[in-house]
Structure 1
């Protein structure tokens, strides 16, 4: 196998987490993410500059970076016409970025990452998807007509769950909150302590369903768990959580 072939090999989130040198990172619904606590905007800008220097103009695989006064969030995901998920080159890039942060003395906080997705129950899926695609200016995610993503990779993705019949007394739209696999139970406990309740843990540790005091539901999901494959897949986990 050539180096080029090796670096574009598709991988599952579990494979990412099992790789050496990626301890700063957690795979969420929208890719592998890391948060670096820089403490200032200037320090964050230096980190971003150094990352940019390590990812040269000849490299067509670049990270998404969010610079804030307190820290920098970096997301890695391979986006192609027929694929939206992780590859071995995401592992290599994660290692390089973590090395830059260490050189600058910037610590990572894996517990500080999360992504949010909007999930919509649809009886007439194609019609509903077409409406939201036009309204949001989104596009279909590669290899899926049930997921819409922001072409600028800024807004939350939208997942459409095909329903055979209405679910009476249950909301048709909810949030999927993707958190690090080692933070999920604490997040659920916090939500329950804040007045929520557990609706279902049938697919744990893939995801749990919780609800607020008025019954509005949300899913807390993970990637890279150890356990059975989930019945429902969305975003990155449709490529192999």
Structure 2
């Protein structure tokens, strides 16, 4: 695969990376380590693989799991470099007897309905302790979700039923291409309502019992 060209969602599915899922421009995997010692051992093995490749992932280490995210910022997006390193990491995990659990992998974005994004971006960058990148407040440390802007004057996407109140903030919850339907059913079972599936499987619009809306998003169909 090309190390300098962004891969499509279809190409990533065809790559057969069973442990990994493309979510919001990154390849993500969650390895169930079960205990801190195994987690540290896996993190060290990932570091060795990354050093050998000269390509470095983001790691989140907890007491029972290691979550790994891969991307190529210079493209930006997922490239052959990420696919190669993903395979190497999966091999290292298998050698340690660690299995992957792709179910439930998630990435949260915050969407704000506003036509004044250029004026608001510096404020939110300062509030989050980040910086403005491509017009969005971004936290380079990864502690705070990205905020993106949706201009309410722009048209596009399916028409939605009117709300009885003004909602300015909404969640975009990104999941893998094979997780969207399951996440939707979980939301409905928990008392949520489906507002629109006209853009599925790219996204479903749902709302809570008070009418606050969010989107369940996947890379499929984009």
TM-score normalised to structure 1 length: 0.82
Secondary structure of the residue aligned to 1:174 is: strand
Conservation of the 8 A alpha-carbon contact between 2:122 and 2:131? no
Secondary structure of the residue aligned to 1:218 is: strand
Tell me: higher relative CO, structure 1 or 2? Use CA pairs within 8 A at least 6 residues apart: 1
**Aligned mates of 1:130, 1:149 — CA distance in 2:** 10
Structure 1 residues 69-88: Cα deviation after superposition (integer angstroms, max 9, x where no partner): 111100001113xx431111
Task: State the match for 1:108 in structure 2.
Answer: 100
Structure 1 residues 28-69: Cα deviation after superposition (integer angstroms, max 9, x where no partner): 12511000001001001100111111121771x200011111
Deviation at 1:135, TM superposition (A): 1.8
Structure 1 residues 220-240: Cα deviation after superposition (integer angstroms, max 9, x where no partner): 0112x2x4x3xxxxxxxxxxx
Structure 1 residues 142-193: Cα deviation after superposition (integer angstroms, max 9, x where no partner): xx32x3321112321111112228x862411011111122121111111111
Structure 1 residues 89-127: Cα deviation after superposition (integer angstroms, max 9, x where no partner): 111111110111111111101103111111111122211
Task: State the match for 2:146 in structure 1.
Answer: 157
- Structural mapping, 1:91-130, within 5 Å: 91-130=83-122
**Aligned mates of 1:17, 1:78 — CA distance in 2:** 18
Task: State the match for 2:26 in structure 1.
Answer: 31
Conservation of the 8 A alpha-carbon contact between 1:30 and 1:115? no
Task: State the match for 1:222 in structure 2.
Answer: 218
**Aligned mates of 2:14, 2:138 — CA distance in 1:** 28
**Aligned mates of 1:57, 1:149 — CA distance in 2:** 29
Task: State the match for 1:134 in structure 2.
Answer: 126
**Aligned mates of 1:170, 1:202 — CA distance in 2:** 22
Aligned length: 214
Is there any run of 5+ residues in structure 1 with no aligned partner, and where?
230-241
- Structural mapping, 1:179-194, within 5 Å: 179-194=175-190
Is there any run of 5+ residues in structure 2 with no aligned partner, and where?
155-161
Deviation at 1:7, TM superposition (A): 1.9
